[in-house]
Amino acid sequence: MLPSPVARALIALLLVIGSSAVPARAADEKPDPARPPVVDPRADELLRAMGDYLAAADQFSFRAEITSGGALPTGQQIEYAAVQDVAIRRPNRAYVEYEGDLGASQLWYDGRQVTVYDGDENAYATTPVPGKLDAALDRLLDAHGFTPPLADLVRSDPYRALHKRAHFGVYVGKTTVDGVRCHHLAFMDEHIDWQIWIEDGTQIVPCKLVITYTSLPGAPEFRAVLSDWEFDGRLADALFTPLLPPSAAKREFDTVSKVVKAK
C-alpha cells in the first residue's frame, strides 16, 4: 500500500533525515583542528569500548524499533514507527529488513552488489559495489547519496564513525532501557545532538539511540531501541542472497533507493 497523503507530505523531510542512526560521513573526513572536541573521558572510553566490541565480532544481528517524524508545513507534529532487522557477516555480507508505517523494504549485500527491494511498489534495483562493507557503504553514499539504516554501527571501526565529528560529549549516568542496565552518553555534532545508551554488562552493545536534527525546522528526532543482539553461530549464505518475488520489476538503483530511504 502506498503512503497516505499525510505521509507524502512528510517525504521531503524524511529524505533529509534518511534512515541512518547518525548521518553518514566521508571516510577521510577529519575534525576541525580549530575546534578540538571536548569529550568527557568516561564517555569517550565507553563509546570506544562499544565500538571495539562490535568491531571484534565476525558477525552479529539485532532488531531496532524505530520512531521518527517531524512537523508538517502547518506545524502539526507527525510520528512514524517501524521495526528493522539487521544482520552483518564480515567482511562483506549484510541484510536489512524494514517494515513500518511508511511501508516495507529489504536490502542485501552479497560482497559483489547491493540489492534494494521496495515491497510497496514491488520493485528492485541492484548496483555493483567493492568487496568489503566499509568500501561498499562509501560507494553507496558517494555514487547514490544512499546510506543503509544504522550504517555507523556496522562499519569496521564504529567508534571512529560515531566520534569523528563530536564537538562535545558527556557521561549522563546509569539508567535502564527495557529493563537492561545501561550507561547514558550524550554528544553534540555540528548539525545534530545525539544520545546513546550502552549496555552495562557482558555485551557492550548499544541499547538505544536518539538523534535530534538541530539544523532542521522543528528539530525532528530519530529514535531507535536496539535489542535481540546475537553474536553466536554462523549466519547462512542464503540470508544475504536476494529473494525477490517473480513479479518484481527491475528499475534504476537511484529510483528505488530514494523511495526506500524515505521510509
pLDDT, tens only, 112-126: 999 999 999 999 999
- Angle at the Cα of 179 (from 175 to 184), degrees rounded to 5? 25
Lowest-pLDDT choice from 196-200, 243-247, 252-256 = 252-256
Sorted by where each starts, the structural domains of the chain and their CATH numbers stand as 37-261 (2.50.20.10)
Sign of CA dihedral 200, 205, 208, 210: positive
pLDDT at 31 over 80: no
pTM flag (> 0.95): no
pLDDT at 215 over 50: yes
pLDDT band at 86 (very low <50, low <70, confident <90, very high): very high
pLDDT, tens only, 131-166: 899 999 999 999 988 887 789 999 999 999 999 889
* pLDDT value at residue 6: 32
pLDDT at 30 over 80: no
pLDDT, tens only, 185-208: 999 998 899 999 999 999 999 999
